[in-house]
Amino acid sequence: MTNLSIKTDSALYYDKLGKRKMNYHILLAIFFLFCSTYAATTPVCPDGFKLVNRKKCLKSFPDYKLHDEAEGDNRAVSDLANSRSNPFVWLGVFCFSNVTTSCYLDDNSGPLTYSNFATGYPKRDAQYGGCVYMTTYGPDVGKWFSAPCEYTGLEYVYKACTHNYGGYCYLPSHELSINTPNTTYSTAQNICKSMNARLVSIHSKPEIDYIKSLYANSGIQQITLGAQAFMQDTFDWTDGSSFDYDNFDPLATSKGNCLQMDLSSRVDNGMWSQINCQTVNYFVCKRKAGVAVTVEKVEEEKENGVNPKFKMAAEKRELPVQHLDLSDLCNSTLFIAPGVITSFGYPAAQPPMTYCTWKVAVVGAYRLGIYFTDFSVLDPVNIYDEKNNLLASPKYEMKPFSVLAPYNMVTLTHDSAKDAMLQFHGFSATILPY
């Protein structure tokens, strides 16, 4: 069996001869087991765990899980881990067809720039699926193969350190020894500051999944996030980090200067919505791992009201969002979420008369949510899952609604021949993983 050595800064692994086998674009889907680290600069690993690179405690678990179950526990795609005696390990890669150009990384960083598939792979035919695993022994060691995401015969790896993800410690308020585990934004922020932390900022979908896992079976429905509005509908993280990712609920209508994250039982939970900063919620604090916990003198933080001159501001700071006019690539494209899709030159008063079929997908073991924010068509938009089951056939004028697919790819079809004649203007929808 090949011994793997870990190089966390570039995500490489090497065989016994020191030959580089994988570049930094290839990330293992490392599924984390949580344990706490606080002020210690060098972790002390619990029994059964091995310290790697003086910073992470790793343990291999022989329990078999579905790919999406294992990734659902914590989808953090982070450091390569030693697979020990595991014969197979899931990779953070998903393929949509039988060619490597259709394979994408689960961290949404884009298509593969390196692959090591065995001859004849990837395969999406018959019993084969889009998820990818690597063998760690035998003549095919290091080679990649395709398997259904529902395949249960693969082991997975967790990273030790409860509530430690990506080099940060997460402190859920309901686990703290405080009198007010649910409170307003300003009080929550001051509690976090007293522990050298700040209310949580979020920078990726895997981080959302990690935070959701902290509240599994807790009964808590939502938490306040560490963001405040500096313009109407425009937010910054108050810990000073870049607002480089968002997961706003496209169908939310509430307004306010603070944000909360949904933790309810809805299958697509984890989305954000605006709230009044006086709303009483649970919360989670976040600080750099290894930072000493000292009592910090804090001043009462008050809600930052939006400057009145921005109340009617139309200009907003927007994150780059993929946008696809479906009429441009009718019958010829696979659109990768997240992003916004629109029909036939939307919102043209007289859209083109044509019949089109499109495929839309999200990478990895996530499922696909379509959130229609404007909808106006005469004949239905038929939405099928990847097994060609009809999910919905909405038509006419409709208020905002969503269609949640059970898999990570859908097909949409629509005939706009009569739309212009009867003054229907098409549709716009946000596509998100859930």
pLDDT value at position 140?
82
Which domains, from first to last, does the chain contain?
1-162 (3.10.100.10), 164-310 (3.10.100.10), 323-433 (2.60.120.290)
Count the neighbouring beta carbons within 10 Å of the beta carbon of residue 138: 10
The residue-averaged pLDDT of 228-257 equals 94
Q: Sorting pLDDT into bands at 50, 70 and 90, what band is 292? A: low
Q: How far is CA 186 from CA 231, 251, 283, 285, 368, in A?
A: 19, 27, 11, 13, 35
pLDDT value at position 111?
83
pLDDT value at position 19?
37
pLDDT value at position 357?
85
Top mean pLDDT of 68-77, 114-123, 319-328, 415-424 is at 114-123
pLDDT in tens, 149-180: 776 556 544 443 368 888 899 999 999 989 98
The residue-averaged pLDDT of 214-235 equals 94
pLDDT exceeds 90 at position 13: no
pLDDT value at position 163?
81
How far apart, in whole angstroms, are the C-alpha atoms of residue 53 and residue 138?
27
How far apart, in whole angstroms, are the C-alpha atoms of residue 37 and residue 57?
11
DSSP secondary structure code for residue 302 in this structure: P
- Burial level of 245, CB count in 10 A (0-12/13-18/19+)? middle
**Phi and psi for 84 in degrees, rounded to 5?**
50, -125
DSSP conformation letters of 199-230: E----SHHHHHHHHHHTTTS---EEEEEEEEE
State the residue for tokens 């139309």: 314
First to last CA, the chain: 37
Beta partners for 228? Answer: 236, 258
Angle, CA of 39, 42 and 44, to the nearest 5°: 95
pLDDT in tens, 351-382: 677 788 888 998 877 899 999 999 999 999 99
pLDDT exceeds 50 at position 341: yes
How far apart, in whole angstroms, are the C-alpha atoms of residue 93 and residue 208?
19
Question: Is the Cα dihedral 310, 311, 313, 317 positive or negative?
Answer: positive
pLDDT value at position 113?
84
Region of poorest pLDDT, from 39-53, 226-240, 302-316? 302-316
Q: Are 285 and 170 in contact (CB under 8 A)?
A: yes
How far apart, in whole angstroms, are the C-alpha atoms of residue 13 and residue 11?
7
pLDDT value at position 272?
98
Region of poorest pLDDT, from 204-208, 298-302, 307-311, 423-427? 307-311
pLDDT exceeds 50 at position 249: yes
pLDDT exceeds 70 at position 250: yes
pLDDT value at position 125?
74
Count the neighbouring beta carbons within 10 Å of the beta carbon of residue 32: 24
pLDDT value at position 404?
96
pLDDT exceeds 70 at position 3: no
State the residue for tokens 């998100």: 432
Short-list 263, 198, 257, CA closest to 228:
257
Q: Are 34 and 57 in contact (CB under 8 A)?
A: no
Short-list 285, 281, 280, CA closest to 220:
281
The residue-averaged pLDDT of 386-390 equals 93
